[in-house]
Chain A
Amino acid sequence: MGSGADHGDFEAFVAARGPRLLKVAWLLTGDAHLAEDLLQTVLAKIWPKWHKIADSHPEAYVRKALVHTHASWWRRRWRGEVPHGELPDATASGDRYASVDLEQSLADAVRALPVRQRAVVVLRYFEDLSVEETAATLGCAEGTVKSQASKALHTLRERLPPLTEGGCDRYARSA
C-alpha cells in the first residue's frame, strides 16, 4: 500500500466526501447497510490505486466505481434487495414523519428502477452531471442516457408523491 502521506490524503478524502458518496450509494442500493457495504467495497478497491488517482478527480473516479460495482453486484445477483429497516421514531414530529415517508417512498421508487436507470438518475439528478458526463461515467452513448433518464422519470413520477401531487414543497424538512 502507499505511503503514510498517501494514507493521510485518502483518509482526508473519505472524511470530506464520504457522506456525499454514501448518499450516492444509498440511492443506488436503496438500503443503508448495502450502501455502506458498497462504499467500503469501492474504497477498498481504490486504496491501492490512490497514489494514481489522488491528483486527478478522485471523486469522479469513486463515483464511477460505485456505479459499476453496484452494476456488477446486480448482474451477479450477489445482493438481494432488502426492505428498508428504518422505522419512524415514535416521538417523531409531523415533519419527521413526512421526511421518513418520503425517504421510504424514494427508496422504494429507486429500487423499482432497472439498475442502469438508477445510475442515470443518481448521476444526472443527484450528482448533477451533464448528459455527456453521465454517458462518459457509464460508458454509454448520450442518447442512451437521455432515453434512460426519460424512462426513469416516467416511472418515478408514478411512484413518488411529490412528483405527482403538485410539488415537493410540502415535504420540506424543518430547519
Chain B
Amino acid sequence: MRDPLEAAEDELRLVLERATPELAAPGERLGQVRARIVRRRRRRTGAAVLVAAVLAGVGTVLPQTLRENRPEAPPAAPTPAPLPTREKEREVRFDGLHGFTIPLTKSWHTLEVPAVDKLGAVAMGYIGTQKLSPFERPCGAKLVDQCAPVDKLGSGDVLVTVSVGALPDAGGWGSPTMNPVDIRNEFCERIGGSEMFVANAGFDAEPSDLLAVMSVCVDKATSAKTLDDLQELLYRAHPGEKNSATAPGKQTGGTRR
C-alpha cells in the first residue's frame, strides 16, 4: 500500500502545478528592472559619500574589520589571469586582496603591496594608467598608507587604490559607481591629483562578506573617456575564487584562473 505521506506530497505537487496561475509579465519588465537599479544606485550615493568621508585618508582610517593578518612579503605584481573576457583584456587578480579580480586593458598597470602587520598597514592594490613602482613601507610619507607607487600623476593619468576587507553583511551593499569626494585628500594631493572619486562594492562571500573600497585619484587633464572606461571596469570587478586566493603553499602571485 502506498505511503500516506508520499501520497499527500504528490497531491500537493499536483495542486501547486495546476493552481499556480500563469501570470503575464509586464511588457517592460527589463525596463522596470533597469529603473530599479538606477534608483538603487542613487539611493546609495549618499552612503557612498559617507564612506568616502570616512576613508578620505585612503586607507589611513580603515576599520579594524578590514585589517587582517597577512604575511609580510615584498611587493609583487598581481597575476594576470589567462582568461580574457573580452578582446584585448586580461583579468588581473590581486591575491592578497581576497582575490579581487578586475578586467583591464593593456594600457592599465597594476601593483599589489602586501600588508605590514607591525605597522598596521593593510594590503593595497593599485591600478594606474602610468607605470607603477613597487615600494616598501614605511616609505617616508607622514602616514604609512600614503605611500604611493608614483611620484606624480602624469598628465591625463589616473591612479586607483584598492583595499578589500571582510565585513559582515556587506554583500550587495554599496555601488561601484564612482562618486566625487569633495573633501581634501592628502594622498591624492601629494601625487598631484586634482580630483578624487570613491567607489565601493560589497560582495557575498564565505566565511564573511567582503567590502572593496576603490579610491580614484585623477589628474585635471584626465579625459572623460578614461573615466568612463574605468567605471565600466569597476562595475565588472569581483572577488576571485574563495579557495584560490589564500590556499597554503600558493605563491604571493596567486593562482591563475
Beta-carbon contact of A44 and B19 below 8 Å: no
A sample of 14 inter-chain contacts (CB < 8 A) reads A11-B30, A14-B29, A18-B25, A19-B23, A22-B25, A27-B16, A35-B23, A36-B29, A43-B30, A102-B18, A102-B19, A103-B19, A153-B5, A163-B8
Beta-carbon contact of B235 and A2 below 8 Å: yes
Beta-carbon contact of B19 and A47 below 8 Å: no
Given contacts A18-B25, A157-B8, A168-B11, contact A173 B18 (CB under 8 A): yes
Please report B residues at the A interface, Cβ cutoff 8 Å.
Answer: 5, 8-9, 11-23, 25-26, 29-30, 32-33, 36-37, 40, 85-86, 172, 176, 235-236, 238
Q: How far is the CA of A99 from the CA of B37 in the complex (A)?
A: 37
Beta-carbon contact of B15 and A106 below 8 Å: yes
The distance from the CB of A15 to the nearest CB of chain B, in whole angstroms, is 9
Q: Pick the contact of A106 from B9, B20, B236, B238 — CB < 8 Å?
A: B20
Q: Which residues of A contact B238 (CB under 8 A)?
A: 49, 51-52
The distance from the CB of B21 to the nearest CB of chain A, in whole angstroms, is 5
Beta-carbon contact of B37 and A1 below 8 Å: yes
Q: Which residues of A contact B15 (CB under 8 A)?
A: 102, 106, 160, 162-163, 168, 171
Beta-carbon contact of B19 and A106 below 8 Å: yes
Q: Pick the contact of B18 from A40, A44, A99, A121 — CB < 8 Å?
A: A99
Give the total of A residues in contact with B, Cβ under 8 Å.
46
Q: Pick the contact of A126 from B13, B23, B172 — CB < 8 Å?
A: B13
Looking across the interface, which residue of chain A has its beta carbon closest to that of B7?
Answer: A167
Q: How far is the CA of A99 from the CA of B18 in the complex (A)?
A: 8
Residue in A3, A36, A44, A45 whose Cβ sees the most chain B Cβ within 10 Å: A44
The distance from the CB of B212 to the nearest CB of chain A, in whole angstroms, is 13
Beta-carbon contact of B172 and A45 below 8 Å: yes
Question: Which 6 interchain pairs have the tightest Cβ spacing?
Answer: A44-B36, A106-B19, A102-B19, A126-B16, A43-B33, A23-B20
Beta-carbon contact of B8 and A99 below 8 Å: no
Q: Which residues of B contact A18 (CB under 8 A)?
A: 25, 29
The answer to whether A130 has its CB under 8 Å from any CB of chain B is no
Beta-carbon contact of B8 and A153 below 8 Å: yes
Q: Which residues of A contact B5 (CB under 8 A)?
A: 153
Residue in B13, B15, B36, B235 whose Cβ sees the most chain A Cβ within 10 Å: B15
Contact with B along A139-171 (1 / 0, CB 8 A): 000000000000001001100101100011001
Beta-carbon contact of A171 and B19 below 8 Å: yes
Q: How far is the CA of A171 from the CA of B238 in the complex (A)?
A: 49
Task: Given contact pairs A43-B33, A45-B172, enumerate 20 new A-B contacts (beta carbons under 8 Å).
Answer: A2-B235, A19-B23, A40-B33, A40-B36, A41-B36, A43-B30, A48-B176, A51-B238, A86-B21, A102-B15, A102-B18, A103-B20, A106-B19, A125-B12, A126-B16, A126-B17, A153-B5, A162-B14, A163-B12, A171-B18
Beta-carbon contact of B20 and A162 below 8 Å: no
